[in-house]
């Protein structure tokens, strides 16, 4: 049976710990952080989906999209073309500390120059964001300035990138091996020729909740309205029968995206690229995000969009029995690896 509890990961860890005679300790109030204590008394800690498996430096680089793209490119992988913009607040602060360094920081004007050079649509997002937060498709200079200013209220660094076509894949790698791969499809509605976007959206929100896939999901109405507007559509439009309308520019599962398991069909080149991406950032455990025309066959115009050092697998695991089994298997391998290392230390 698929676990429906809100605390998906804790349920899996507790079953796996029982299997190997380890104990699971969860901080009692939020139950999101804790440790696993092996039989020999050694502990490995976790918070959310971050485990004591990746080095801190490597995880910090992965969190920074601009930095990680530099490391990926240096290892020969294709990454998005884009420009990083520092907030005026950050630049001013830097000016007081190190004026020479501050003068090298790119800003708004670099974003506008990039847009003039590459044209639209562009993608604008926080450099250190996650779960699709603040990711927007931008179609004009006014839009560009508005969204960057908005993001600067909360973030010091904003990325402006070319928008790449293709499908969005997540490949989970552990110690150089692909453990699972899936395609992520942006939140969308399918028209019936009579219902409006707003009606279809409400039905979709219910469907996602009832599936147990993402029980706490609240559709981001504002981001959806913005995306509909830049796509030349509105919430009162009526999509034709069978027409699929994406509602967001990003395929994050946390924002209602859907999943297709492709673990069994990923081609050797993309398995290799994923392992190389994890290794380029020094990560043993990683979720590698690839945009390409299809994962079953090598696409020379692929890009590695980003690499996550703590990939969340709950939405994937919750979307079907086979996928849940895969997630359990992945955590089994991860915990066994952590356990082996603890025992190895003991013998030194
Ligand atoms: N340059 C881009 N071109 C096309 N789609 C993009 C681009 N950047 C982001 N996206 C879409 O937005 C999603 C979230 O972007 P990402 O950079 O992975 O940020 P986050 O850390 O919030 O997941 C991606 O999975 C993809 O669907
Ligand atoms: Mg992402």
- Same domain for 147 and 205, yes or no, is no
- What pLDDT score does 16 carry? 96
- What pLDDT score does 1 carry? 37
Q: How far apart are CA 100 and CA 6, in angstroms?
A: 50
Residue at 141 is within a domain: yes
Task: Identify which ligand lies nearest to the alpha carbon of 131.
Answer: 1
- Same domain for 95 and 151, yes or no, is yes
CA atoms within 13 A on the CB side of 188: 16
- Same domain for 105 and 142, yes or no, is yes
- Same domain for 157 and 192, yes or no, is no
Q: How far apart are CA 315 and CA 209, in angstroms?
A: 12
CATH number at residue 99: 3.30.1490.20
Residue at 110 is within a domain: yes
Low-confidence residues in the chain, pLDDT < 50: 1-5, 347-348
Residue at 60 is within a domain: no
Q: How far apart are CA 156 and CA 147, in angstroms?
A: 13
Q: Is the CB of 289 under 6 A from ligand 1?
A: yes
Q: How far apart are CA 16 and CA 338, in angstroms?
A: 13
- Same domain for 202 and 137, yes or no, is no
65-121 pLDDT tens trace: 999 999 999 999 999 999 999 999 999 999 999 999 999 898 889 999 999 999 999
Q: Is the CB of 129 under 6 A from ligand 1?
A: yes
Domain extent at residue 200: 188-249
Residue at 14 is within a domain: yes
Residue at 274 is within a domain: no
| Domains in the chain, number | 3
Looking at every residue in the chain, the average pLDDT score rounds to 92
* Residue with CA at minimum distance from ligand 1 atom 2: 163
Domain boundary among 249, 276, 300: 249
Contact by Cβ (8 Å): 86, 157: yes
Q: Is the CB of 66 under 6 A from ligand 1?
A: no
CA of 143 to the centre of ligand 2 (A): 22
Q: Is the CB of 251 under 6 A from ligand 1?
A: yes
Q: How far apart are CA 31 and CA 1, in angstroms?
A: 22
Domain boundary among 225, 249, 273: 249
- Same domain for 86 and 159, yes or no, is yes
- Same domain for 45 and 86, yes or no, is no
- Same domain for 98 and 134, yes or no, is yes
- What pLDDT score does 2 carry? 40
Residue at 272 is within a domain: no
Which positions ≥6 away from 93 have C-beta within 8 Å?
Answer: none
Best of 252, 254, 312 to mutate for ligand 1, by most ligand atoms within 8 A of CB? 252
Task: Identify which ligand lies nearest to the alpha carbon of 257.
Answer: 1
Residue at 179 is within a domain: no
274-308 pLDDT tens trace: 999 999 999 999 999 999 999 999 999 999 999 99
- Same domain for 106 and 158, yes or no, is yes
Residue at 214 is within a domain: yes
Task: Identify which ligand lies nearest to the alpha carbon of 130.
Answer: 1
CA of 300 to the centre of ligand 1 (A): 19
């Amino acid at each position: 049976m698929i676990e429906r509890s809100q605390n998906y990961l804790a349920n899996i860890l507790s079953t796996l710990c029982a299997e190997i005679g380890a104990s699971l300790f969860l901080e009692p109030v939020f139950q999101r952080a804790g440790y696993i204590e092996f039989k020999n008394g050694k502990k490995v800690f976790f918070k959310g989906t971050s485990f004591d498996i990746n080095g801190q430096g490597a995880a910090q680089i992965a969190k920074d999209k601009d930095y990680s793209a530099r490391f990926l490119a240096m290892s020969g992988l294709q990454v998005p073309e884009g420009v990083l913009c520092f907030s005026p607040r950050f630049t001013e602060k830097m000016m007081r500390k190190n004026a020479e360094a501050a003068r090298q920081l790119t800003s708004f004007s670099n974003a506008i120059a990039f847009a003039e050079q590459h044209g639209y649509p562009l993608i604008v997002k926080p450099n250190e964001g996650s779960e699709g937060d603040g990711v927007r498709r931008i179609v004009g200079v006014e839009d560009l300035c508005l969204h960057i200013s908005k993001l600067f209220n909360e973030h010091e660094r904003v990325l402006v990138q070319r928008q790449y076509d293709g499908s969005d894949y997540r490949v989970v790698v552990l110690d150089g091996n692909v453990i699972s791969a899936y395609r992520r499809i942006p939140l969308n509605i399918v028209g019936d020729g009579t219902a409006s976007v707003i009606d279809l959206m409400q039905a979709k929100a219910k469907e996602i909740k009832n599936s147990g896939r993402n029980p706490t999901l609240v559709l981001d109405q504002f981001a959806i309205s913005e995306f509909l507007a830049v796509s030349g559509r509105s919430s009162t439009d009526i999509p034709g029968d069978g027409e699929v309308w994406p509602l967001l520019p990003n395929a994050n599962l946390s924002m209602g995206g859907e999943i297709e398991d492709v673990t069994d069909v990923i081609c050797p080149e993309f398995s290799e690229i994923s392992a190389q991406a994890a290794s380029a950032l020094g990560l043993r455990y990683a979720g590698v995000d690839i945009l390409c025309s299809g994962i079953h066959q090598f696409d020379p115009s692929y890009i590695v969009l980003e690499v996550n050092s703590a990939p969340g697998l709950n939405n994937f695991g919750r979307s079907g029995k086979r996928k849940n089994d895969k997630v359990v298997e992945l955590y089994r391998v991860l915990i066994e690896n952590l356990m082996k290392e603890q025992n190895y230390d003991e013998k030194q």
